[in-house]
Amino acid sequence: MRWRSLCICLVVLLMARFAGLGTPTRILFMHHSTGANLIREGGVREGLAALGFELSDHGYNEDGLSDALGRPTGTNFAVPDDNTDPDGWAAIFAQPVTAPPSNTLSRMLDYDVIVFKSCFPTSNITDDEMLANYETYYRAIRSVVDQHPDHLFIAFTPPPLVPNETEPANALRARRWAQYLTSEEYAGGRRNLAVFDFFSLLAGSDNVLRQEYRGDEWDSHPNQLANETIGPVLVSFIHEAIVRWRGAP
C-alpha cells in the first residue's frame, strides 16, 4: 500500500512538471507523531500531490526530513531539544535567518509553505498564566511571519487530550487557546498566515478527544478514523490558503 501511494505521488508530480505547470509549490509540514499519523492515514501527501503540490515533512530529529515521495532523506533540521511546544516554536522563529541555512528556521524557509504544529501535551494548560504565555509566544511568532510575506505559514491548534490525561479546567483552557489562534485578533487580515483548527475537529463539547476518535482511554493520539476523516479537510484547507495567499481567482 505504501509503495502504491508513492507511485501515485510520483506520477502526479511528473505529470505536473511535464504539463507545463512549472515548479510545484513546495510545502513543509513540521510535526511529531500525531502529524505523521495524519499524513499517512489521512492521505495528505497524495491529496496535495493530486493538486500539484509537493509535501515534505519533518518529525522528531531522529526521524528527520522525508521528501515529497515520503522517503527519509537522512537529514534533520536540528530542532532545539525536539521542542515543538509553543515556547519551542517561539525559540525557533526567533533564530536568525542564515544563508546557507544553518538553523531550523532558515531550513524551514527553503519551502514556500510552512505548516507547523504542537502535539497534544500542549493542550494540558494548567493555569491562566500558561495560557497567557502561549499567547505571548505566538504573537512573537506572528511578528516573524509578518517579515516573510513571500512565504505562507499555516499553524495548527493542538489536538485535545483524552479525559484521563487532563482536567476539565485545563481542557477548557485548551479550547480557549484554539479559539484565540483562530480569532481575528490573532491572524485576521494576514494573507500569509492561516490557522488550521485541528482541536475543534477532534474535540467534543467537553473539550477532550471525542470517543469515536480515541484508540484507547490512555492514549491521546487520534485514531485512524480521525485521521481518515480530517486528512481530506486539511488538504482542502491548505489548498484554499495557498490560493488566498497568492491572490489567484
Domain ranges of the chain: 2-246
For residues 221-236, average pLDDT? 98
* Separation between Cα atoms, residue 205 and residue 211, nearest integer Å: 11
Task: With CA atoms as reference, report the closest residue to 236 among 47, 37, 41.
Answer: 47
90-110 pLDDT, tens per residue?
A: 999 999 999 999 999 999 999
pLDDT category at 14 given cuts 50, 70, 90 is: very low
* Separation between Cα atoms, residue 150 and residue 153, nearest integer Å: 10
pLDDT value at position 2?
46
132-154 pLDDT, tens per residue?
A: 999 999 999 999 999 999 999 99
Higher pLDDT, 15 or 42: 42
pLDDT value at position 107?
98
pLDDT value at position 222?
98
pLDDT at 218 over 60: yes
173-184 pLDDT, tens per residue?
A: 999 999 999 999
44-90 pLDDT, tens per residue?
A: 999 999 999 999 999 999 999 999 999 999 999 999 999 999 999 99
Main-chain phi, psi angles of 209, to 5 degrees: -60, 130
Burial of 89 (0-12, 13-18, 19+ CB in 10 A): buried
Higher pLDDT, 240 or 19: 240
Rounded to a whole number, what is the largest CA-CA distance in the chain? 54
Q: What is the dihedral of CA 67, 33, 104, 21, to 10 degrees?
A: 30
pLDDT at 17 over 70: no
Which long-range contacts link 106-109 to residues 24+ away (Cβ below 8 Å)? 107/77, 108/28, 108/30, 108/77, 109/148, 109/151
Burial of 186 (0-12, 13-18, 19+ CB in 10 A): middle
What are the Cα distances from residue 29, in Å, to 23, 66, 166, 213, 247? 19, 10, 27, 22, 22
CATH fold label, 2-246:
Rossmann fold (3.40.50)
pLDDT at 22 over 80: no
How is residue 14 written as a grid cell?
Answer: 511528473
